[in-house]
Structure 1
Amino acid sequence: MAEFDLLSFIFILLLALFLVLINGFFVAAEFALVSVRPSKVEELIQKTGSRRAKAVQKAIENQDEVISATQLGITMASLALGFLAGSYIDPVIELFFHDLDFLAVFSGLALGGIFAYAMTTYMHVVIGELAPKSIALQYPAKTSLWIAQPLHWFTSLFRPVIWFFNKTGWLVLAIFGIKPLVGHRSIHSEDELKLLISQSSTAGILEEQETAILRRTFDLPDTQVRMIMAPRRDMVTISMTDDFAKIVKKVNKSGHSRFPVFDSAHESVIGFLYAKDLLEYMELAFEKDVKFEDTLEDINITELLREADIVPETMRADRMLTTFQERKRHCSVVVDEYGGVVGLITLEDILELLVGDIQDEYDTEPEEITPVGGGLNGESNVNGQTSIDDFNDYFKTELDSDISVTIGGLIIEKMGRIPIENEKIRIQNLIFSVAEVTKLRIVSLLVSKAPEETDTPEKSITQNNSSDK
C-alpha cells in the first residue's frame, strides 16, 4: 500500500478549496445580479462612469444568458470538487487511517470515504454556498462590481455551450407546455408592494410620513375627481351680472386666486378670472373709464378671462394630476355626464390625497373629526363633508357606497331622505346622530359606539322634539 504523503494531501486540499471558492464566486454572481437594482447601477454610471458599473449594466441587460453562465460555472465547480474528493481525497484519508495503529481497525469500514464526503460537503455548503449568498444579498451593488468583468469573460468563453443548454432546456419545458421565463426579476403586485412598504416601515427604513405618502399613492388610480372636488355649492363663483364692487369683495373675502365665471343664467362656465388679472385691470380702470358699478356684461372682458378647463367627474385622480401637468393648470371645472357643473378640482386637492390636509392662512375649514369632551364619553363630532375613506381610517370601519362620497351623503342614502336634527341611525357598530342639518345636506354628526347587546346592524331611530309630542 502506498505511503501517506503530507505535501500531496495539502496540495489536494488547497485545490479543493480553490474549487469551492470558484463555486462561491458563481453563487455570489447569481444572487448579486438578481438582487441589484438597475437604478443603483445607473446612478453609479452617471456619478463615476465606472467600467465595472457598465459591465454590471450589460450583465443585467443579458440576464438570461449570464444567469445560465453562473449555473454552468456552479455545476462545473461542483462536479470537479466531487471528482477530486472521490479520486484523491478519499484514498489519501484511507492511507491516513491505515497508518495510524489505533485507527487501523476502522480502515476497512470506509471511514475515509465518509470523512472525505463530510469534509467536502461542509466546505461546499458553508464556503461555496451560504457565505457568498449572504454577502451578495447584503451588498448586491458592491458584489456585482467585483464579479461583472470576470463573469463576462467566462460567459464569452462558454457562450456556445450556454446557448446549447438554454435551447435544450426550453425544449424540455415546451414538452410539458411550460413557457420559458424571460428575465429573472420578479414583478411585485400592488398588495406585495404595500406589504414591502409596511415591512420597511416596521424595520425603521421608512419614516412615518414617507410610509403614509407611499400608501396614499396607491389610492390615486382608485379615486375619482368627484370624490375629492369642492362641490358646486361650496364654490366661490363670479357671474357676468356681478358688478366690480361685488367681485372685489368676493376676491378679498375668499382669499382664492382663481374664480370660475358663469354666464348670466349661471348655468355654464365661460372662463376663469384670476385675481392678479383683476388687479392689473383695476390699475387701468380709470384710464378705461370703468366704474365699480359696471358689470362684466357692461365691459369687454375677453382678454381678462382665461380659458376654463373642463373635466368629467369620473376622471381618476392620477389622470387628473397628469392633466394638470400637461396643461399647466392648477384648477379645472368638473361636470357630470349631462354637462352640468358639479364642482371644482384643484391641484391642492390632488396633493392632499398624498400628504394629507394642506391649510394656509386663509383656510377656515373646521376639523373633520373632533372628539367630544376629550373623547371620554366615546363620542366624536364629525363634519358631514368628511370623506367615507377618511371616516373609515379614523374609526377603523368598512363603510362603503357606490353613490355617496361623504359620510353625510351616506347617512342620507341609508335613510332615503334628508334627516332632521337629533335623528339617529345605526350602521355597523356605530350610532350616527344628526347634530346639524340644512334643507339640502347634513352639516355635522355625533358618532358613538353602539351598545354591544344591540344586534341589528342597521336601524333607524328617530329622536326629535316633534316626534315626542
Structure 2
Amino acid sequence: MNETVFDTGLWLTAGAILGLLVLSAFFSGSETALTAASRGKLRAQADRGSKGAERALEVTDDSEKLIGALLLGNNVVNILSAALATALMTRVFGESGVALATLVMTALVLIFAEVLPKTYAITNAELAASRVAPVIRLIIPVFSPVVNLVRRLVRGILYLFGVRTDPDSKFLALREEIAGAIALGHSEGAVQKEDRDRLLGALDLHDRTVDEIMRHRREIEMIDAAKAPNDILSQVLASPHTRLPVYLGDDENILGVVHSKDLLREVEKLLRSGSGRIAKLDELDILKVAMKPYFVPETTPLDDQMRQFLKRRTHFALVVDEYGALRGLITLEDILEEIVGEIRDEFDIVEKDQSLARTEAGDYVIEGAMTIRDLNRITDWGLPDDEANTVAGLVIHEAQLIPSEGQVFSFHGFRFEVVQRKENRITTLKIRPL
C-alpha cells in the first residue's frame, strides 16, 4: 500500500474521479434547473436583455431532447467514475476495495453530485438555468445522435405497449399550468378567492360561449315600433337600460337597436324645430333613430366576442341560434362580469344578495336561474356545467324530466330539492352537499 501512495497514476485516477463527480453535479443540477425554471420568468428576463435566459428558453423548447442529453451525460460520468473508483480501491486495498468503492462512491454521488446541486438548482431555478444554458446548448448537438437513437428505441417499445407519443405536445397546456398555479396559490393562502376568481374567469373566456351568459329572450325589454312616440319615449326613460331592441309586429322581427341618447337627441331636435311644441313629438320615427342590429351566433367563444365588441366599438349584440331565431342578447358588460364579478350602477334593479342563505337543516336556497358557474364561485363547489348553464337546467338534465314541487334528487354528491316551479320553469331550489 505504501508503495502506491505516491504513484502518479493513482493520483491521476483520483483526480479524474473528482472531475467526473463535478461533471455529474453539473448535469444533475442543470436537469433540475432547466425543468424547474418558470418559462414565464425566463421570458421576462430575456425581454430585459438576459442572454442566459434566452438560451434557457431555446434549450427547453425540445424538452425530450434536453432530458435525453442530460441523462446520457449524467449516466456516462457516473458509471465511469464508479468504474475508476473500483479500480483505484482494488489497487490500494485489494479485493475488499470493491465493497469500499461502492460505499464511498454512493456517498459522494448522493451528497455532492445529486442532493447538493439539485437543492441549489431548485432554490435558484431561473438563475441556475440562465448560467448553465449556454453550456448545455453546446452539449446537446454532441449527444444528439445517441439521444435520437435512444428516443426511437423508447418510442418503439412504448408503441408495442399501445402508448402513442406526440413529440410536439406538452404534458400540460400553458393555460392549464397557469390555472393550476392560481388554484394552488389559493389553496396555500397566497392568492385571495376574489383574485383567483378574476384570473380564472379571464382564462375561461376561451372555453365558454355566448349562450352560457347571455340574457334570455324572455328577459329582454323591447320597443314595439308600432307604439305611439310618447309611449316609446316614456318606456325608454323608465327603462334601466340605455339600449333597447326595436321590433315591428313579431318580436322575432328585430329592426334595430335604439340608444337612449340618440332618441333624446332626436326629441330635442324635434322640439327645437317645433318651437317647443310637445305635439311635434308625433313626428318621431323610432326606426330613423335606431341603429342597425348586430347579430352573433350563440356558439361564439366569449374571448372572440369581446374582441369583436372592441373592434366594432359597440357593446350590444343580439344572439341567434343556427336557424336565425332570437335566443337572447349579450353586452360587453356581461363578459366583463365573468372576470370581475357583478357590476352595478345607480340604475340597476336591486336584486337579492348573491351570498347564499342557509336553512337550519343546512340547505342553500337559490334561484333556479342562477348559473352553475356563479354557484361554484360563491361556494367553491365543483358542480359540472358541461350539459347545463343554470342550476335548474342541471336538475332537469340529470332527472330527464321537468320535476314537480317537493321532488328530491341526489347526484354529483349533492341533494337537490325543488321548492317552487312556475309553469315549466324551476324557480327555487334547495341544495345541500351529501
TM-score w.r.t. the length of structure 2 is: 0.78
- The alpha carbon displacement at 1:262 in A equals 1.7
Equivalent residue number for residue 407 of structure 2: 425
1:168 to 149, 153, 159: 149
**Partner amino acid, structure 1, of 2:430:** V
Q: What is the percentage of aligned positions where both structures have the same residue? A: 24
- Determine the C-alpha separation between the residues in 2 that align with 1:296 and 1:125: 92
Matched, 1:32 2:33: yes
Give, as a single letter, the amino acid of the residue that structure 1 aligns with 2:96: L
Does the CA contact (< 8 Å) of 1:221 and 1:316 recur in 2? yes
User: 1:310, CA displacement in angstroms?
Assistant: 0.9
**TM superposition shift of 1:25:** 0.8
Q: Which residue, out of 366, 386, 393, partners 1:382?
A: 366
Which amino acid is the alignment partner of residue 52 of structure 1?
G
Counterpart check, 1:148 vs 2:133: yes
Give the match for residue 354 of structure 1.
Answer: 339
Alpha-carbon contact 2:368-2:391 (below 8 Å) kept: yes
Going from structure 1 to structure 2, the CA distance change for 1:210 and 1:170 (only over 3 Å counts) comes to same
- Cα shift readout 1:276-311 (whole Å, capped 9, x = no counterpart): 323433443334449656679853854x33221112
Pairwise CA distance, 1:181: 6.1
Q: How high is the TM-score relative to the length of structure 1?
A: 0.73
Q: Partner of 2:122 in structure 1?
A: 137
- Indicate the SS of the match to 1:375: coil
Note if contact 1:336-1:342 (Cα within 8 Å) is conserved in structure 2.
yes
Q: Where does residue 271 of structure 2 map in the other structure? A: 286
For residues 386 and 65 of structure 2, what CA distance do their matches in structure 1 show?
51
Q: 2:285 aligns with which of 299, 302, 318?
A: 299
Q: 1:149 to 1:319 in 2, by over 3 A?
A: closer
Aligned partner letter, 2:56: V
In structure 1, what is the equivalent of residue 44 of structure 2? 43
Compute the displacement of 1:348 (Å): 2.2
Task: Evaluate the alpha carbon distance shift between residue 292 and residue 264 of structure 1 in structure 2; reply closer, same or farther with a 3 A threshold.
Answer: farther
1:237 aligns to 2:215 (yes or no): no
TM-superposed deviation, 1:332: 0.9
Root-mean-square deviation (Å): 4.2
Matching of residue 187 in structure 1 with residue 172 in structure 2: yes
Q: Distance in 1 between matches of 2:264 and 2:119?
A: 66
Q: Is the 8 A contact 2:222 2:247 kept in 1?
A: yes
Note the alpha carbon deviations across 1:6-64, whole angstroms, 9 max, x for none: 796777555433321111112222232233333322211221x1332332233234655
Q: How do 1:394-413 residues align onto structure 2 when only pairs under 5 Å count?
A: 405=390, 407=392
Q: Name the counterpart of 1:447.
A: 430
1:21 lines up with 2:2 in the alignment:
no
Structure 1 residue runs of 5 or longer lacking an equivalent are 95-107, 453-469
* Corresponding residue number in structure 2 for 1:81: 81
User: Structure 2: any 5+ residue segments left out of the alignment?
Assistant: none
Kept in 2: contact 1:64–1:184 (CA 8 A): no
Change (3 A) 1:70 1:235: same
Q: Is the 8 A contact 2:225 2:287 kept in 1?
A: no
Closer, same or farther: CA 332–291 of 1 in aligned 2, 3 Å? farther
Residue 322 of structure 1 and its aligned partner are, at CA, apart by 4.2
Q: What do residues 149-197 of structure 1 show as CA deviations (whole Å, max 9, x unaligned)?
A: 2333444xxx4x5243134324534654747763695335988876554
In structure 2, do the counterparts of structure 1 residues 265 and 152 end up closer, same or farther at CA, with 3 Å as the change threshold?
closer
